[in-house]
């Protein structure tokens, strides 16, 4: 099976919504059900279709400061009040990394986190 890239990207889906995912894959979700949440996880299904192992979490990050600035500038220019995080993996798989990415992004856009909350946030993280 193919592995996801560890380089973070800002993506736009077919409905025009933007996402940035600090983690691709969802090991905990797949362990609970091989087909993912509700026995029909869209991300798990698409990953399988294209030969990716959705059961393996891959942390994604910026290549360097230039890459970070490029994504920050794209986010600032979006005609949306928010971006999503957790479209192709569950941010709760690594909360420390997720929080770190949010802090790096540091724009005025709201970040909507999509999660099954497999792993709980600590009070300190909240």
HSE-CB for 75 with a 13 A CA cutoff: 23
Cα angle vertex 82, ends 85, 38, to 5°?
A: 40
d(CA 65, CA 7): 13
Bridge partner residues of 20 (DSSP): 10
The Cα-based distances of 116 to 32, 71, 78, 95 in angstroms read 12, 26, 27, 12
Q: For the segment 29-87, what is each residue's pLDDT rounded down to a tens digit? A: 999 898 888 888 889 999 999 999 999 999 999 999 999 999 999 999 999 999 999 99
Query: Cβ-count burial of 74 within 10 angstroms (0-12 exposed, 13-18 middle, 19+ buried)?
Result: middle
- Work out the pLDDT band at 92, boundaries 50, 70, 90: very high
d(CA 67, CA 63): 6
């Amino acid at each position: 099976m193919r592995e996801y890239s560890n380089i973070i990207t800002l993506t736009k889906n077919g409905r025009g919504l933007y996402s940035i995912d600090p983690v691709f894959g969802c090991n905990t979700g797949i362990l609970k059900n091989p087909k993912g949440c509700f026995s029909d996880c869209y991300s798990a299904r698409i990953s399988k279709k294209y030969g990716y192992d959705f059961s393996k979490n891959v942390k994604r990050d910026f290549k360097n400061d230039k890459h970070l600035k490029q994504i920050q500038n794209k986010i600032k220019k979006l005609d949306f009040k928010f971006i999503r995080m957790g479209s192709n993996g569950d941010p709760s798989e690594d909360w420390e990394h997720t929080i770190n990415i949010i802090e790096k992004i540091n724009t005025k856009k709201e970040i909507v986190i999509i999660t099954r909350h497999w792993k709980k946030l600590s009070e300190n993280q909240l």
